[in-house]
Structures are given as structure tokens and as C-alpha cells.
């Protein structure tokens, strides 16, 4: 019988990061092998993880980004968690046709409504009065108390937002050991997000990088040591590398200026009227899916978006693996040094009718990804947050608005293919995986699932 296999995703880790600041990961790679990994477009978490788990591109599995325009609902939704959204069979489903296989997802995305034997995933509590409390979901039922009793509550506000940092990744790595021992799985998918924070805040290079790599390396060492103690094989993988950016582009403002995007005004400010808009852009890092309801409006939309990245229209989307019904009729890929902001309000003054969630951490309400949620507004953001926390403790109604509106504060992004493979994703294979199929000079992200299938089936 094959040994258990752990697939550990270190977000943002690239071949260029192996070296002095990652001694455990580098030694692990030297004992086995490492290679640059040809990724997917868009180079974002949900799309990449779906490809790693299925072996097919977004044009097949349908995860065309971290969110998309749900045309049947007339809504833009980000960060849905149901595995049922993936429209291709997982590698473990294929393996189970020929042999039993126990699977654990530990903070790997699309972990709800899942066919995995064990799951641990973030799941905040959204209270009726508007409060948000840290929590996580675990299955089977006895796994949650086993994890919580040993490791405490999941530090949700260290997982995303202005205070996101090492605590969440350390908790994930430490609790992985408990979940692994409890579930005794054959195949594990685990996710370490640490590099995703400061490398977006401050860029992929700079004085902050060494400490971030050292912190990640220590968490990866927890996985390496536990795999060795339990006789499991281990593979490290990443979804993308971060790229330097200095400018945001605003496709929704351009579409609105051309009278293609419509907003509705209410007491919450201006909101995109998704159903009434002739065109709108779902912005996701360096990718934007532009929905164009009427084909006759395509020329007008393209004209409005001229200079806003590289446009792939209709059948051209197949060139980047995004010809899928969930994709926009136009897919924009940002030029180097730029990223797409979701902002659609035109008046930039303080008294404008921007939505009330603009300065908040609201990953589900915003009609696009917003990396500014990782930052405190340098003009009073921490003070606003402290004031809100005080009101919360006193039992008063409060609004948490710590984030800036200035897109120029963001220094790192991802989504477009890297110019240099050394700055893109990688795959590290442990020395215990001696089979020649694991030792190859180059990998595509679509190669991992078939290799896992061969690992378990021969």
C-alpha cells in the first residue's frame, strides 16, 4: 500500500525563495527535487487549487476566479465555499473508483458540501446584530472539539484583514497535526497563507521579505516533521508568485462612463445594479471578467476598456483556458505593474455616494476582490478601528471602517502569468518519493492530479 501523501500549498512561494531564508524547505528540496510550475490563468487561489485537485484548467472545472458573475442569480459572489461549484471530478473521486481513499482538507478551499472524509476550514459566525465572530467548521463532528481543545479558537482576524499575519498560518500548521492524527487520511490537502499578506501590502521584494520567508519556513517545518514522524510522503506546491504593482486600473468606472454599467442609489450608497447593467467587470487581482449582456454592446465595451489591459474576447479566451460559461464575454489581463480595482463610483470626494462597505473588510459584499482590506488607512484607520472596538465592548452599535481607499498603497498582486518562471509557482517533492514520475524538470499545474492518481493506483 502506498504511504499517505500530504500536499501542502505555501501561497506565494517561488523557486527564487529557496535559499538562506528558507533552510528547512531548501533542505527538503535538496533531499528530493524542486521545479518551477507552469500555472493557470487566473493565477488566484480558487482557480489554482481547483486545477491542482482535478488536473484540468478553469475552462473545464469552471472555477474561473475567486468569484464571478452568477448570471442566474444576478449577483456577483466571491469566496463561496461549496465543493459542488467545481464542475470536474477530483483526483480522489477518480481514485475511489478503484480503491478506498480517506481524504482530509485542512484549510484547502471548497471544503464545504464536500465528499472528503475530514475537513477543517474557516467559517465565521455572522450574528443577527451584525457582529462577526471567529470560528471554523470541521467534519466529522468530533474533530472540531479535538482541534479547538488543543489549539483554541482559529485567529480569524489574523487570516484576513489589516491584522492578517503569522498567527493564522501558525495555527493552521499546528492544528494540522491534530487533524491528521484524528482523521488518519491517505491524502491530505493543506494550505499555508502567510506570504499572501505582506507581499501584497509591501511588494514581493524588500526588507520585509526575509522575515516573512523565515516565518513560513518555520510553519512548513511543522508539516515536514509531522510527515516524517507519521511515515507520510510530502509535496509542497504554490498557486502563484506575487508581482510588483504600482497602479490600479478601474474597468467599472470606464464602463460606467460609457453608460454600460448602472448603479442604484440607496441609504447604503451607490451599488452596482447587476441586472440593469449592460456590462460590468468582476475584478480579481490582475484579472477582470467583463460580462456583456447583449453581443451588440461588445464593441462599445471594448472601446470603453481600451488601454485597460489585454482583452480576450469570445473564442480568444481559449488561449488562456478561460472559455467557460462563467467567464466574462471579455476577459481582461492586466499589464505588468498594474491590477484591477472593483471601484465603480465616479465622485472621488469624501462626500461621494460610495458604498458603505468601501472602507470595511467585506469579502462577501464587495463585487470584486479588494486588497486594501489588508491595510489600515494611514489617515485614521487604526483610530476608527479602536473607536469601533470600544463601542462594541460597551454594547453600542458600531461600524468597523479601518481600510483605505487609496489603491496606490498596494505594492504586490498576482493573476497574470509571471515573466520569469523563477517568480512563479513551484513544486517541491520529498526525497521519499523516489518514483521517476515525481522527478521531472518541469511541471504544469495540471500534472499533479494525474501523478497523485499514479501514486495510489500504480
Burial class (CB in 10 A: 0-12, 13-18, 19+), 182: middle
Give the pLDDT of residue 398. Answer: 81
Which domains, from first to last, does the chain contain?
5-68+80-242+415-457 (3.40.720.10), 245-413 (no CATH)
Give the pLDDT of residue 400. Answer: 84
Give the pLDDT of residue 63. Answer: 99
Check if the beta carbon of residue 376 is closer than 8 Å to that of residue 402.
Answer: yes
Tell me the CA distances in angstroms from 116 to 154, 301, 444, 445, 452, one per residue in order. 21, 42, 25, 22, 16
Q: What angle do CA 329, 332, 335 make, to 5 degrees?
A: 170
Tell me the CA distances in angstroms from 231 to 3, 127, 223, 283, 433, one per residue in order. 7, 43, 12, 43, 12
Check if the beta carbon of residue 308 is closer than 8 Å to that of residue 332.
Answer: yes
Q: Per-residue pLDDT tens for 208-265?
A: 999 999 999 999 999 999 999 999 999 999 999 999 999 999 999 999 999 999 999 9
Alpha helices in 202-337 (DSSP H): 208-229, 251-257, 298-304
Question: Over its length of 458 residues, how does the chain's per-residue pLDDT go in tens digits?
Answer: 799 999 999 999 999 999 999 999 999 999 999 999 999 999 999 999 999 999 999 999 999 999 999 999 999 999 999 999 999 999 999 999 999 999 999 999 999 999 999 999 999 998 888 788 999 999 999 999 999 999 999 999 999 999 999 999 999 999 999 999 999 999 999 999 999 999 999 999 999 999 999 999 999 999 999 999 999 999 999 999 999 999 999 999 999 999 999 999 999 899 999 999 999 999 999 999 999 999 999 999 999 999 999 999 999 999 999 999 999 999 999 999 999 999 999 876 655 789 999 999 999 999 999 999 999 999 998 888 888 888 888 888 788 889 999 999 999 999 999 999 999 999 999 999 977 789 888 999 999 999 999 999 98
Alpha helices in 55-121 (DSSP H): 58-61, 91-96
Mention every residue, 6+ apart, whose C-beta is less than 8 A from residue 283.
251, 252, 340, 341, 342, 368, 369
Give the pLDDT of residue 70. Answer: 98
Burial 385-417 (b: 16+ CB within 10 A, else e): beebeeeeeeeeebebbbbbbebebbbbbbbbb
How far is it between the farthest Cα atoms of the chain?
66
Check if the beta carbon of residue 252 is closer than 8 Å to that of residue 283.
Answer: yes
Our measurement of the distance from residue 441's CA atom to the centroid of its chain's CA atoms, rounded to an integer in Å, reads 27
Give the pLDDT of residue 311. Answer: 99
Task: Tell me the pTM.
Answer: 0.96
Determine the 3-state secondary structure of 253 from DSSP: helix
Amino acid at each position: 500500500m502506498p504511504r499517505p501523501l500530504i500536499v501542502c500549498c505555501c501561497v506565494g512561494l517561488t523557486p527564487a525563495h529557496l535559499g538562506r531564508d528558507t533552510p528547512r524547505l531548501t533542505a527538503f528540496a535538496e533531499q528530493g527535487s524542486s521545479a518551477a510550475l507552469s500555472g493557470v490563468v487566473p493565477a488566484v487561489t480558487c482557480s489554482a487549487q481547483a486545477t491542482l485537485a482535478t488536473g484540468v484548467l478553469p475552462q473545464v472545472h469552471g472555477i474561473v476566479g475567486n468569484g464571478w458573475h452568477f448570471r442566474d442569480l444576478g449577483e456577483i459572489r466571491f469566496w463561496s465555499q461549496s465543493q459542488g461549484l467545481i464542475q470536474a471530478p477530483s483526483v480522489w473521486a477518480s481514485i475511489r473508483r478503484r480503491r478506498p481513499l480517506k481524504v482530509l482538507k485542512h484549510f484547502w478551499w471548497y471544503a464545504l458540501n464536500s465528499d472528503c472524509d475530514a475537513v477543517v476550514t474557516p467559517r465565521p459566525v455572522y450574528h443577527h446584530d451584525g457582529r462577526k465572530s471567529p470560528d471554523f467548521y470541521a467534519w466529522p463532528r468530533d474533530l472540531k472539539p479535538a482541534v479547538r481543545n488543543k489549539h483554541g479558537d482559529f485567529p480569524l482576524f489574523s487570516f484576513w484583514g489589516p491584522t492578517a499575519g503569522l498567527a493564522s498560518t501558525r495555527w493552521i500548521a499546528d492544528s494540522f497535526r491534530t487533524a491528521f492524527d484524528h482523521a488518519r487520511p491517505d491524502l491530505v490537502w493543506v494550505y499555508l497563507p502567510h506570504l499572501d499578506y505582506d507581499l501584497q501590502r509591501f511588494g514581493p521584494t524588500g526588507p520585509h521579505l526575509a522575515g516573512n520567508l523565515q516565518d513560513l519556513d518555520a510553519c512548513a517545518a511543522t508539516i515536514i516533521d509531522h510527515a516524517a514522524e507519521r511515515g507520510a510522503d510530502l509535496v509542497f506546491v504554490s498557486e502563484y508568485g506575487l508581482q510588483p504593482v504600482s497602479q490600479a486600473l478601474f474597468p467599472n468606472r470606464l464602463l460606467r462612463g460609457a453608460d454600460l454599467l448602472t448603479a442604484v442609489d440607496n441609504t447604503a450608497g451607490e451599488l452596482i445594479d447587476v441586472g440593469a447593467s449592460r456590462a460590468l467587470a468582476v475584478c480579481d487581482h490582475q484579472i477582470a471578467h467583463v460580462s456583456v449582456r447583449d453581443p451588440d454592446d461588445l464593441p462599445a465595451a471594448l472601446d470603453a476598456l481600451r488601454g485597460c489591459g489585454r482583452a480576450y474576447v469570445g473564442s480568444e479566451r481559449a488561449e488562456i483556458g478561460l472559455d467557460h460559461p462563467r467567464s466574462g464575454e471579455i476577459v481582461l489581463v492586466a499589464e505588468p505593474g498594474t491590477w484591477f480595482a472593483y471601484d465603480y463610483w465616479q465622485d472621488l470626494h469624501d462626500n461621494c455616494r460610495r458604498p458603505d462597505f468601501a472602507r470595511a473588510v467585506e469579502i462577501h459584499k464587495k463585487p470584486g476582490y479588494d486588497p486594501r482590506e489588508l491595510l489600515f488607512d494611514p489617515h485614521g484607520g487604526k483610530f476608527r478601528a479602536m473607536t469601533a472596538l470600544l463601542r462594541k465592548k460597551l454594547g453600542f452599535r458600531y461600524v468597523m471602517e479601518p481600510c483605505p481607499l487609496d489603491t496606490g498603497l498596494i505594492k504586490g498582486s498576482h493573476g497574470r502569468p509571471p515573466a520569469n518562471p523563477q517568480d512563479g509557482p513551484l513544486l517541491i517533492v520529498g526525497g521519499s518519493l523516489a518514483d521517476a514520475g515525481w522527478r521531472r524538470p518541469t511541471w504544469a499545474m495540471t500534472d499533479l492530479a494525474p501523478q497523485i492518481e499514479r501514486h495510489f493506483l500504480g
